[in-house]
Structure 1
Amino acid sequence: MSELLLNHLSGRAQAGTGPGTALHDPVLGTELARVDATGLDLAAGFAFAREQAGPALRALTYAQRGALLAAVGKVLQANRDRYYEISTANSGTVKNDTAVDVDGGIYTLGTYAKLGEGLGERKHLLDGEMVRLGKDPAFQSQHVLLPTRGVALFINAFNFPSWGLWEKAGPALLSGVPVIVKPATATAWLTQRMVQDVVEAGILPPGALSVVCGSSAGLMDQLQPFDVVSFTGSAETAAIIRSHPAVARGSVRVNIEADSINSAVLLPDAGSESLDLFVKEVAREMTQKSGQKCTAIRRAFVPSDLYDAAAQAIAARLAKTTVGNPRNETVRMGALVSRGQLAAVRGGLAELQQHTEVLHDGSQQALVDADPAVACCMAPTLLGARDPDGNPVVHDLEVFGPVATLMPYRDAAHAFALVRRGQGSLVASLYGSDAGALSAAALELADSHGRVHVISPDVAATQTGHGNVMPQSLHGGPGRAGGGEELGGLRALNFYHRRAAVQASTGVLQNLAA
């Protein structure tokens, strides 16, 4: 039997008492490790974080906590090569895709370390200015933000075991809130190893960073009113979390990132250079992380007279994408994370194919250094829907893999209406060369998206990518996307703070700013 990975809870390493669940190499099929949370005293673990780690973190200033994050980043950077190995083995990612997860997580953590330094030697934040409560200016109101006296529980998805941890943990720890992370079982190894390395380095107060690998049973039951929970995953699980008594009756604060049918739109009269940028980005988003990104392009819209040209250009790019074993230097796209995920993607693709035409058939591509009977590899498939108005399935069904659907539109208003049929998404990207048209389109779509990514020829070399989540910008989305918000620079700290109004004399309020 392979190694049983340790949980870290109550300030110490703990093994589960059960046989564990096996983690597998999605390309070779070999067992890598086992995870198990059976027998853990979850109540004691949450209490330890709340009562020991929380006060220790809150005793520090933002600058001091930022320095801790910087030290954590150095530990992660020192072990970076090992994390790459784990990602290749457990997630089946090629090096460029591993970089998005591992290096992206370290970069995000470093960003919050620097923000902490900028906040200085304070232990609370002011929200706005003092406001008079009457004609006499002697008595006023000042809103303040203070760290919540609870625990942050993260229930994370399988696709970003590094970035998914640190984009949440960075703002939480900077805020002074201890973290307990439950990674998705299939790819838990990288999260577990990173937490273990940081805990063993002794940088953070004991219990400030914990990891529970295996079943999530009982975790939500430990939540108390001043705790927070952040979830990334399916809408079905999100509904269960929202209906849990801790949330429904205890008012535990919840952040949800769920399904998202993201879009890319080539604007009318965009020009050939913008068409090329659109084609390149759609193909990249279909293949990066094998399409296993919550921000990946699922629907691509073009003017009707460019439908055939766009289909041919995207298909030509996809045909050049080598798929297979990420250890082979010629491979540009690795595997889906598990046989279960492969089956789910194939099932979703089959359903979409009943309502679309196949513009590029990935099933015809041979795998490189991978046995199709064992490997969870799947080449990209581009579908087309010439009647997007009468085809509700393409706007409702998300296939979480290397699949996208190309659709034509009549005019800009028609395109925007089709995009909004996604019922709220994490991101939409726009392609064109007219600054005025791009600005108008961005504002038209901003109310139904967490982020609008605008790509024009003048930023072709510097734009950060449709699906690349940067810590300086908001990540989240309304409606179907979950209604949550993460990152956005210092905005991320709001989730881990409690806002209150202090009504007092001007002299008292001035002391709050000291």
Structure 2
Amino acid sequence: MTVTTAPHAFWLAGREATGEETFEVTSPWDGRSVGSASVPTEAQVEEAVAASVAVGPAFAASPAHVRAAALDLVSRRLQERAEEFARLICAENGKPVKWARGEVGRAVAVFRIAAEEARRFNGGEAQRLDTEPTGAGRLALTRRFPRGTVLGIAPFNFPLNLCAHKVAPALAAGVPIILKPAPATPLSALLLGELLAETDLPAGSWSVLPVPNDRMPALVQDERLPVISFTGSDRVGYAIRASVPHKRCTLELGGNGAAVVLADYAAEDRLDWAAGRIAVFSNYQGGQSCIGVQRVVADAAVYDRLVPKVVAAVEALATGDPADEATDVGPMISEDAAQRVESWVDEAVRAGAQVLTGGKREGTSYAPTVLADVPDDVTLAREEAFGPVLTVRRAADESAAFAAVNDSKYGLQAGVFTSDLQAAFRAHRALEVGGVIIGDVPTYRADQMPYGGVKRSGEGREGVRFAMEDYTYERVMVLTGLDL
């Protein structure tokens, strides 16, 4: 990845701008400079917010084909520049380049799906009211309208695709958006701005503002930004919710994803499949995925055969330089993050947990780790690890396994390895999560499906159409004097 010496401009109401200060973006892998970004001044942030409010009515009324064409263009241009984006994600985030390519591919799909949804969203729903005598000659027509400008706050772990999941649905619905990328990884979002600037979207309909986190509360509190879409920790998410209880908040927060392996999955090839998927998706971004596998709950009938397979598959993962095509597991986002994981593992070991593999840190990198016999009351068992650490436990039967999954303050997604259709439906009914993935890990996500959690994992749903619904509200019109 070529380092750009001039600071990256930000995007103010659809045009390039620079502020008075800059900050450096460094590689988590080796600490080298990846580039620098210009920081908007307070006056420039005010200009972006004011522009979004001013354009709101016209943008909401814009033809669907105009918005769809813009989103199609961004999707195509992302595909054309896919390798450039992947290398930038790899550099600023430390994500292995093969996973970075996958992220870009998903963002391509998000904008394409948003273009499709723009064409069919808000078609309106008619409802006869003459089912009651007082409604004779009346018809209700319901359509959706923007709540107002969205403040999109994105995390570092998917610096392109989770920005896409905020920007694309907003633009598809005719809703202005101000995007705040993560300070550790702003460059992918700023490069995305280049593609948005190639469209005919109106000035003010979008801005990308890399403001520091200490200035985020002022944006959150701004009454002109009635919708907040936040992805990040449950601590920050619920602090936002508490500070603006009158606003519409979509909160995509943490998880400690569980993979359940039931007794019917006992065939050797099935256990091999489960072990391989668990190993990869407990570690694939340095474990920094809210739906990564953190817990394995295996039926006692398969536990003793499954665990050695998981350990062997974890040990087979290649660690190292994320720019190397062979690397499976790169660094964590910072040394502080790696030290936190180290401290949690050390606490668990002192309390009696057994390290089956891994358990070592070197700088920002933490070795892929598997732990057994983890006590229920240690931090690692109760919180989101957000690192390359996996715990394994034995369950007496299906009911005990499902109870173990539910024994958590989080409820984002769960994976259940079973070939029993009835067990799948029982899991769907019993598990207190936003998504149940049958035959695979909890890490599976299709970008068009509803995505979100329960309990401390958040509220609201992403997935393009579902985010569009969160950004808008239903308004009914009653027509009177009709001959129905």
The two structures share one fold, judged by TM-score above 0.5: yes
Worse-superposed segment, 80-89 or 343-352: 343-352
Q: Runs of 5+ in structure 2 lacking a partner?
A: none
Q: Secondary structure at the match of 2:185?
A: helix
Q: Measure, in 1, the Cα distance between the counterparts of 2:14 and 2:57.
A: 14
Q: Secondary structure at the match of 2:42?
A: coil
Worse-superposed segment, 270-279 or 431-440: 270-279
Q: Secondary structure at the match of 2:41?
A: coil
Distance 1:149-1:484 versus aligned 2 partners, 3 A rule = closer
Report the AA paired with residue 68 of structure 2.
G
Does the 8 Å CA contact 2:145/2:473 hold for their aligned counterparts?
Answer: yes
Structure 1 residue 107 corresponds to structure 2 residue 109: yes
Does the 8 Å CA contact 2:296/2:390 hold for their aligned counterparts?
Answer: yes
Worse-superposed segment, 254-263 or 433-442: 433-442
Superposed, 1:178-189 pairs within 5 Å as 178-189=176-187
- Post-superposition offset of 1:284: 1.3
Report the AA paired with residue 234 of structure 2.
A
- 2:41 corresponds in structure 1 to 39
Does the 8 Å CA contact 2:349/2:355 hold for their aligned counterparts?
Answer: no
Q: Measure, in 1, the Cα distance between the counterparts of 2:128 and 2:379.
A: 51
Q: TM-score, normalised by structure 2?
A: 0.91
Q: Secondary structure at the match of 1:449?
A: coil
- 2:222 corresponds in structure 1 to 222
Q: Runs of 5+ in structure 1 lacking a partner?
A: 366-371, 456-462
- 1:166 corresponds in structure 2 to 164
Q: Measure, in 1, the Cα distance between the counterparts of 2:98 and 2:172.
A: 29
Structure 1 residue 377 corresponds to structure 2 residue 365: yes
Q: Secondary structure at the match of 2:285?
A: helix
Distance 1:450-1:143 versus aligned 2 partners, 3 A rule = farther
- 1:369 corresponds in structure 2 to none
Report the AA paired with residue 211 of structure 2.
G
Does the 8 Å CA contact 1:5/1:192 hold for their aligned counterparts?
Answer: yes
Does the 8 Å CA contact 1:36/1:215 hold for their aligned counterparts?
Answer: no
Report the AA paired with residue 184 of structure 1.
A
Report the AA paired with residue 98 of structure 2.
N
- 1:256 corresponds in structure 2 to 251
- 1:449 corresponds in structure 2 to 433
Distance 1:86-1:386 versus aligned 2 partners, 3 A rule = closer
Q: Measure, in 2, the Cα distance between the counterparts of 1:296 and 1:354.
A: 25
Structure 1 residue 483 corresponds to structure 2 residue 430: no
Q: Measure, in 1, the Cα distance between the counterparts of 2:448 and 2:14.
A: 32
Structure 1 residue 496 corresponds to structure 2 residue 484: no
Superposed, 1:8-23 pairs within 5 Å as 8-18=11-21, 20-23=22-25
Structure 1 residue 435 corresponds to structure 2 residue 421: yes
Q: Measure, in 1, the Cα distance between the counterparts of 2:353 and 2:470.
A: 44
- Post-superposition offset of 1:325: 0.5
- 1:472 corresponds in structure 2 to 448
Q: Measure, in 1, the Cα distance between the counterparts of 2:201 and 2:172.
A: 11
Q: Secondary structure at the match of 2:184?
A: helix
Q: Measure, in 1, the Cα distance between the counterparts of 2:143 and 2:354.
A: 53
Q: Measure, in 1, the Cα distance between the counterparts of 2:72 and 2:11.
A: 21
- Post-superposition offset of 1:315: 0.6
Superposed, 1:287-436 pairs within 5 Å as 287-355=283-351, 357-363=353-359, 372-373=362-363, 376-385=364-373, 390-391=376-377, 393-436=379-422
Distance 1:132-1:275 versus aligned 2 partners, 3 A rule = farther
Does the 8 Å CA contact 1:260/1:422 hold for their aligned counterparts?
Answer: no
- 2:235 corresponds in structure 1 to 236
Report the AA paired with residue 57 of structure 1.
F
- Post-superposition offset of 1:191: 1.1
Distance 1:38-1:207 versus aligned 2 partners, 3 A rule = closer
- Post-superposition offset of 1:136: 4.7
- Post-superposition offset of 1:308: 2.9
- Post-superposition offset of 1:472: 2.6
- Deviation string 1:166-199 (CA, Å, 9 cap, x unpaired) is 1222211110001111111111111111113322
Q: Measure, in 2, the Cα distance between the counterparts of 1:363 and 1:405.
A: 12
Does the 8 Å CA contact 1:43/1:222 hold for their aligned counterparts?
Answer: no
- 2:205 corresponds in structure 1 to 208
Structure 1 residue 505 corresponds to structure 2 residue 484: no
Structure 1 residue 76 corresponds to structure 2 residue 78: yes
- 1:459 corresponds in structure 2 to none
Distance 1:153-1:265 versus aligned 2 partners, 3 A rule = same
Q: TM-score, normalised by structure 1?
A: 0.86
Q: Measure, in 1, the Cα distance between the counterparts of 2:52 and 2:308.
A: 55
Report the AA paired with residue 496 of structure 1.
Y
Q: Measure, in 2, the Cα distance between the counterparts of 1:61 and 1:385.
A: 59
